Amino acid sequence: EAQVTQNPRYLITVTGKKLTVTCSQNMNHEYMSWYRQDPGLGLRQIYYSMNVEVTDKGDVPEGYKVSRKEKRNFPLILESPSPNQTSLYFCASSLDAVDNYGYTFGSGTRLTVV
Amino acid sequence: GQQLNQSPQSMFIQEGEDVSMNCTSSSIFNTWLWYKQDPGEGPVLLIALYKAGELTSNGRLTAQFGITRKDSFLNISASIPSDVGIYFCRGGAQKLVFGQGTRLTINP
């Protein structure tokens, strides 16, 4: 089944403890992206990647890192999480940047930083 | 950066009523898309619009790409309980921009 898989689905952590949220897609998509969703603010893009080893900042990149060493994986790294990073995170992928119909979201990761 | 203003932020309607929501921007977009997010899931594409003035339907859903390319509208006719969720508009490509979302609640 074609899908975008995020792990974990839920995570509670403490301020300053490094964490990684994994994202993997099995559709051979070139374009991958991370979003955070907050009430009243909608979905805001954190980082995106056009292809392997090509990443770029979205609208809210501060406090996050990403890497794209392989096509299928696009992990989101929080080196020193803070409470304002408590949010619902989504990974998404598509064939390329203009593949609208193929743009697929994962099921989300709810992160709480205390 | 580019911003999309989506309204209303929330709607409480009776089953069977029609629904209208819109997105506006200060920037021009070449693509407008509408998504629906069910609770506990990621957004799913409903309709994609590629041309100014374009009107596209998908079942009970109708969306329009504004003539100025700075706005888009989504209408849902004869709402049913499974229409409940959050609806997002999206503009652009590469650095994608989403609206804040419209949360739709339906009273049976």
Encoded tokens for A109: 């990761």
Encoded tokens for A4: 């975008």
DSSP A1-56: ---EEEE-SEEEE-TT--EEEEEEESS--SEEEEEEEETTTEEEEEEEEEETTEEE
pLDDT averaged over every residue in chain A:
94
- The confidence score (pLDDT) of residue B2 equals 63
Q: What is the pLDDT of residues A15-71, one digit of tens each?
A: 999 999 999 999 999 999 999 999 888 899 999 999 999 999 998 999 999 999 999
Q: Give the chain A residue whose CA is nearest to the CA of B86.
A: A42
Residue B32, CB half-sphere, CA atoms under 13 Å: how many? 31
Residue A21: name the closest of A65, A72, A71 by CA: A65
Chain B residues closer than 8 Å to A90 by CB? 42-43
Q: What is the pLDDT of residues B37-64, one digit of tens each?
A: 998 899 999 999 989 999 999 999 999 9
Share of chain B above pLDDT 70, in %: 95
pLDDT averaged over every residue in chain B:
91
Integer Cα distance of B22 and A33 in angstroms: 25
In this complex, which of B42, B48, B97 lies closest to A101 when CB atoms are compared?
B48
Chain A residues closer than 8 Å to B85 by CB? none
Integer Cα distance of A22 and A92 in angstroms: 12
Q: What is the pLDDT of residues B93-106, one digit of tens each?
A: 556 788 999 999 99
The alpha carbon of B70 is separated from its chain's Cα centroid by a whole number of angstroms, namely 14
Chain B residues closer than 8 Å to A43 by CB? 43, 88, 98, 101
Best residue in A43, A49, A91, A93 to probe B by mutation, most B CBs within 10 Å?
A43
